[in-house]
A and B are shown apart, each in its own frame.
Chain A
Amino acid sequence: MKRFKFASLAIASAVALPIALHAARPHYGGTLRIEMPGVIRTFDPAARPGDSAESAARTSVLPLVFETLLVADPSGGLRPQLAASWEHDGSGRRWRFRIRDTVTLHDGSRLQPAQVAAALRPRERAWKVGVDGDAVVIDLDRAQPDFPWDMADVRNAIATRTAAGDLVGSGPFRLEPTEPRRIALRAHEDYWGGRPFVDAVQIAEGRAFGDALASLELGRADVVPVRPTDLRRLVQRGLRSVRTHSLETFALVFEPHRATPADHLVRHAVATAIDRATLSDVLLQRQSEPAGALLPSWLSGYAPMFQGAPASSSPRTAVAALPPERRALTLRIDAADPLAQSIAERIAVDAREAGITIKVQAPAGLAPRPDVRLVRLTHDATTPDRVLAALMSALGPRVTSLATSEAAPESGAPLDTVYRIERALLERDVIVPVVHLPALYGLGERLEF
């Protein structure tokens, strides 16, 4: 199975392919058909996604239309994109990005540094964005040696606006008007990086995993996201798949009334009882990583420090001595997430071995207050400081304050600071990482990787 670091790369690689099988040379033409569960409400790169499905969809689709000044290199470091080069003044407070002068926007006009500055100006209050010749100059309120990584974030992609308020990008595909829950992309003939091979990309949004998989099997779709539990079915049908590195983490998050010091024994017992290796190998078909930390290793670099930590298992006798109501937990999951249901049931089995009873709750409406939730955390940044800050933001101050008094790391925070904060975040077992998941895609017969 081919592996990509980013979801955007998996999709981008698919759309970069010609729709021609076994051809000696690539042929231009054809339409790539994609189905996905997320629905993109707005294409404005600066908008916040409504849920994890939309976040995943935006991460995959937006880079086809809108480009950032720089882009993260899967091999490490940054690559120039709309910016041909970049430099700072030595202090790390003033950054200068020379804009590529060969970029044609989707409306046929040439991208100007002033348009880039106008697009970036509202993104952060702390940025003072100006233009100097062919360059965009950004003054920061503090030294930030790794500021270019912010310029590789899809939220800072460059979208210009027409007089009518429509968004215009510079990416390899331009948006076409279409019906609701469908995205139509047309090849940008004048793309500075070379016209894509395929003529068009059609994306059906809001498709359930099962329906999308059926479309793939029937030849109605070329690329669909799949769940780990679907992989066997893909193989049986003779279809292939690709995967990214881990982009999501399942974690248990205890509610305030069970996040007290008095309940630490129970929380720790649950945290140490989960057989993450079996969960990954069996239930998730080896398409995941056991999670000792919130950040997967490819993003943090230090995750093995958490995996290697000696687990001081809670004596079962100590747990057994607790009153029954303290040994019982209600675990809430998203009723629309069958994978979460499977993982939660497995956790309940493991917890039972440690003397803890877990009742899985997947409410469609009102339900009793849970003790703990199984949450999906999406990693949509590329540096450890930014990923952890985004996770803490997603968890919210109510949860993080139960776990630690540490604030989220600032952009550019050194790695030892990020490590210290993550360790503090996990120390009380209020947040318990379970498993890291990649994005998986099934490929139709028309595609050849």
Chain B
Amino acid sequence: MATRVLMLSLTIAPLSAQPPSSYQDLATELAAKVAAALPPAEPAILSFSAIDSADSVVDIVDRATVTQANADLARALTARGVRLVERADGATVIRVSCHENLRERACVADIAQGATHRAVAATRPLDPRTNGPASLALDLQRLFMQRAPILDAVLAGDRLVVLDPFSVTRYQRNEAGWQRTDSQAIATSRVWPRDIRGKVQLDGPRLDAFLPGVVCRGTSDATRLACAPAGDVRQPWPLGIDNTGIEANRNYFYTPEGLPFFAAAPLGPDANARWLVAGSSGALLFLDDSRRVVATIASGDDVVALNAACGGPVGTVVLVASSGHGERPDTLRLYRAVHRQLIPAAAPFELSGRFTALWAAPGATAAIAVSHDTAANRYEAFQIRIACDR
């Protein structure tokens, strides 16, 4: 099988040139400072400063970002008990501007009560070495393609293990590409759900394959594979979050607390949440240490966390897969998870086919994505890594 490397330099360009810089992470902090500066129940008018002439001011937030930041701030202020009004005599006027200078990204609020002005600001340093986000790029490497649905694939040096609904197949890389070495059938009488999901895991000499209601165990270099029903107590899957396994005839998991979800990504401390999960409703949910929903944002069908060793702090980076619902291409988006917000970290990447699976590789150093090219009627597995651009 020919292997072709696609280098997609979805570069996170310097802030002045990248797609809309997000100020979502500053809105929460700014709202807290504004709320603290206002008397309780004081009506306030919120206005956002925007600049029309991008020629006169470079590095400016675009209008869509301003609109988004305005909405984020209004929501955060309301959540803190600030009574926002459209207009009212004697109301406090909060004027906000979010921009960059050379040192930082900043949102400044001027709180005017009559002739008295008070200013508060939320800032994040831009220092690319010590504080700022490192420049990243996504590397997509096409690993493998076949007509049968690919549920998961694991790359281990020159070996590749591919899980499909019917078998676990091992391949060895040689000059011609991937050479099949053996294949073991998944022996089960279970009827698979229509959207079957599966995950294969290599742990030293051990191989585990997880399928809805079935767990197969074997060794990575042997030919035996024993599959058994998961039993009455559902078998947890290795997802990086406690779970009770997949519903046997469904495509989602449950947390021990009963929250249904499609996928989960463990987060770092800067995210101010423990996990980001793709909920069964299509929303992305931030969960705290107790797996309680602490924030709901955006939408996505699958999510994994990725590690990037870029010499500087990158923070928690998550890869989110979203369906285009047949109207648009399915997309992969890279985000930084900061303060329960997702900050775009690269331009969206459009898949050529329909996305069907996204799993994190061991150690979260890579992810495996699978897409289905309906025109060619084949499934393709990609390995996705984060590369440092500087």
Q: A residues engaging B (CB < 8 A)?
A: 3, 5, 72-80, 85-87, 146, 148-149, 245, 280, 286, 289-290, 297-305, 307-309, 382-384, 414-417, 419-420, 423
Q: Is the beta-carbon distance between B117 and A423 smaller than 8 angstroms?
A: yes
From B96-104, B239-247, B355-363, give the one contacting chain A.
Answer: B96-104
Contacts A75-B14, A76-B16, A77-B129; A415 near B51 (Cβ below 8 A):
no
In the complex, what distance in Å separates the CA atom of A75 from the CA atom of B126? 9
In the complex, what distance in Å separates the CA atom of A170 from the CA atom of B91? 59
Partner pick for B59 among A78, A298, A415, A416, CB 8 A cutoff: A298
Q: Is the beta-carbon distance between B129 and A308 smaller than 8 angstroms?
A: no
Q: Is the beta-carbon distance between A149 and B57 smaller than 8 angstroms?
A: no
In the complex, what distance in Å separates the CA atom of A383 from the CA atom of B126? 12
Contacts A298-B101, A383-B103, A420-B119; A77 near B132 (Cβ below 8 A):
yes
Q: Is the beta-carbon distance between B121 and A419 smaller than 8 angstroms?
A: yes
Q: Is the beta-carbon distance between B100 and A305 smaller than 8 angstroms?
A: no
B60 at the interface (CB under 8 A from A): yes
Contacts A76-B14, A77-B126, A297-B57; A419 near B108 (Cβ below 8 A):
yes
Partner pick for A304 among B50, B130, B132, CB 8 A cutoff: B50
When distances are taken between beta carbons in the complex, the residues of chain A under 8 Å from B50 are 304, 308
Q: Is the beta-carbon distance between B119 and A419 smaller than 8 angstroms?
A: yes
Q: Is the beta-carbon distance between A302 and B125 smaller than 8 angstroms?
A: no
Q: Is the beta-carbon distance between B127 and A78 smaller than 8 angstroms?
A: yes
When distances are taken between beta carbons in the complex, the residues of chain B under 8 Å from A76 are 14-16, 59, 100-103, 126, 128, 132
Q: Please name the residue on chain B nearest to A286 by beta carbon.
A: B55
When distances are taken between beta carbons in the complex, the residues of chain B under 8 Å from A414 are 121, 123
Contacts A302-B99, A384-B103, A423-B117; A416 near B108 (Cβ below 8 A):
yes
Q: Is the beta-carbon distance between B57 and A303 smaller than 8 angstroms?
A: yes
Q: A76-B14, A298-B59 are in contact. List 18 more A-B contacts (CB 8 A).
A: A5-B102, A72-B102, A75-B15, A76-B103, A76-B126, A77-B126, A77-B128, A77-B131, A86-B130, A87-B130, A146-B103, A146-B125, A280-B56, A286-B55, A300-B101, A302-B108, A303-B57, A416-B108
When distances are taken between beta carbons in the complex, the residues of chain B under 8 Å from A86 are 129-130
Q: Is the beta-carbon distance between B101 and A384 smaller than 8 angstroms?
A: yes
In the complex, what distance in Å separates the CA atom of A381 from the CA atom of B125? 17
In the complex, what distance in Å separates the CA atom of A68 from the CA atom of B167? 63
A375 CB, nearest partner CB in chain B, Å: 22
Contacts A76-B100, A77-B129, A305-B110; A415 near B121 (Cβ below 8 A):
yes
Q: Is the beta-carbon distance between A77 and B102 smaller than 8 angstroms?
A: yes
In the complex, what distance in Å separates the CA atom of A87 from the CA atom of B127? 12
B58 at the interface (CB under 8 A from A): yes
A245 CB, nearest partner CB in chain B, Å: 7
When distances are taken between beta carbons in the complex, the residues of chain A under 8 Å from B106 are 301-302, 415
Q: Is the beta-carbon distance between A149 and B95 smaller than 8 angstroms?
A: no
Q: Is the beta-carbon distance between A290 and B102 smaller than 8 angstroms?
A: no
In the complex, what distance in Å separates the CA atom of A73 from the CA atom of B125? 13
Which of A85, A146, A290, A415 has most B Cβ within 10 Å?
Answer: A415
B49 at the interface (CB under 8 A from A): yes
When distances are taken between beta carbons in the complex, the residues of chain A under 8 Å from B99 are 297, 301-304
When distances are taken between beta carbons in the complex, the residues of chain B under 8 Å from A303 are 57, 99
Q: Please name the residue on chain A nearest to B59 by beta carbon.
A: A298
CB-defined A-B contacts under 8 Å, sample of 9: A75-B17, A85-B129, A289-B57, A298-B57, A301-B100, A302-B121, A303-B57, A415-B106, A420-B118
Q: Using a CB-CB cutoff of 8 Å, which residues 70-122 of chain B contact chain A?
A: 95, 97, 99-106, 108, 110, 117-121
B36 CB, nearest partner CB in chain A, Å: 13
Contacts A289-B56, A303-B57, A305-B110; A415 near B123 (Cβ below 8 A):
yes
In the complex, what distance in Å separates the CA atom of A412 from the CA atom of B204? 52
Q: Is the beta-carbon distance between B101 and A78 smaller than 8 angstroms?
A: no
When distances are taken between beta carbons in the complex, the residues of chain B under 8 Å from A77 are 102-103, 125-129, 131-132
In the complex, what distance in Å separates the CA atom of A67 from the CA atom of B336? 35
B125 CB, nearest partner CB in chain A, Å: 7
Q: Using a CB-CB cutoff of 8 Å, which residues 34-80 of chain B contact chain A?
A: 49-51, 55-60
In the complex, what distance in Å separates the CA atom of A288 from the CA atom of B233? 71
Partner pick for A79 among B97, B108, B128, CB 8 A cutoff: B128
Q: B residues engaging A (CB < 8 A)?
A: 14-17, 49-51, 55-60, 95, 97, 99-106, 108, 110, 117-121, 123, 125-132
When distances are taken between beta carbons in the complex, the residues of chain A under 8 Å from B127 are 77-78, 148
Q: Is the beta-carbon distance between A416 and B121 smaller than 8 angstroms?
A: yes
Q: Is the beta-carbon distance between A415 and B57 smaller than 8 angstroms?
A: no
Q: Please name the residue on chain A nearest to B101 by beta carbon.
A: A301
Q: Is the beta-carbon distance between A305 and B49 smaller than 8 angstroms?
A: yes
Partner pick for B102 among A80, A308, A382, CB 8 A cutoff: A382
When distances are taken between beta carbons in the complex, the residues of chain B under 8 Å from A80 are 129
A286 CB, nearest partner CB in chain B, Å: 8
B130 CB, nearest partner CB in chain A, Å: 8
In the complex, what distance in Å separates the CA atom of A75 from the CA atom of B104? 11
A111 CB, nearest partner CB in chain B, Å: 21
In the complex, what distance in Å separates the CA atom of A316 from the CA atom of B121? 37
Q: Please name the residue on chain A nearest to B53 by beta carbon.
A: A289
Q: Please name the residue on chain A nearest to B16 by beta carbon.
A: A75
When distances are taken between beta carbons in the complex, the residues of chain B under 8 Å from A280 are 56
A96 CB, nearest partner CB in chain B, Å: 12
Q: Is the beta-carbon distance between B128 and A301 smaller than 8 angstroms?
A: no
When distances are taken between beta carbons in the complex, the residues of chain B under 8 Å from A87 are 130
Q: Please name the residue on chain B nearest to A288 by beta carbon.
A: B56
Q: Please name the residue on chain A nearest to B109 by beta carbon.
A: A416
In the complex, what distance in Å separates the CA atom of A198 from the CA atom of B121? 46
In the complex, what distance in Å separates the CA atom of A298 from the CA atom of B106? 12
Q: Is the beta-carbon distance between B129 and A304 smaller than 8 angstroms?
A: no
Which of B16, B102, B126 has most A Cβ within 10 Å?
Answer: B102
In the complex, what distance in Å separates the CA atom of A5 from the CA atom of B99? 16
Contacts A298-B57, A308-B95; A423 near B103 (Cβ below 8 A):
no
Q: Is the beta-carbon distance between B103 and A304 smaller than 8 angstroms?
A: no
Q: Please name the residue on chain A nearest to B57 by beta carbon.
A: A297
In the complex, what distance in Å separates the CA atom of A75 from the CA atom of B106? 15
In the complex, what distance in Å separates the CA atom of A114 from the CA atom of B110? 47
Q: Is the beta-carbon distance between A245 and B104 smaller than 8 angstroms?
A: no
Q: Please name the residue on chain B nearest to A421 by beta carbon.
A: B119
When distances are taken between beta carbons in the complex, the residues of chain A under 8 Å from B97 are 301-302, 304-305, 308
In the complex, what distance in Å separates the CA atom of A299 from the CA atom of B129? 20
Q: Is the beta-carbon distance between A299 and B58 smaller than 8 angstroms?
A: no
Which of B103, B120, B128 has most A Cβ within 10 Å?
Answer: B103
B383 CB, nearest partner CB in chain A, Å: 30
In the complex, what distance in Å separates the CA atom of A87 from the CA atom of B129? 10
In the complex, what distance in Å separates the CA atom of A77 from the CA atom of B127? 4
Q: Please name the residue on chain A nearest to B14 by beta carbon.
A: A75
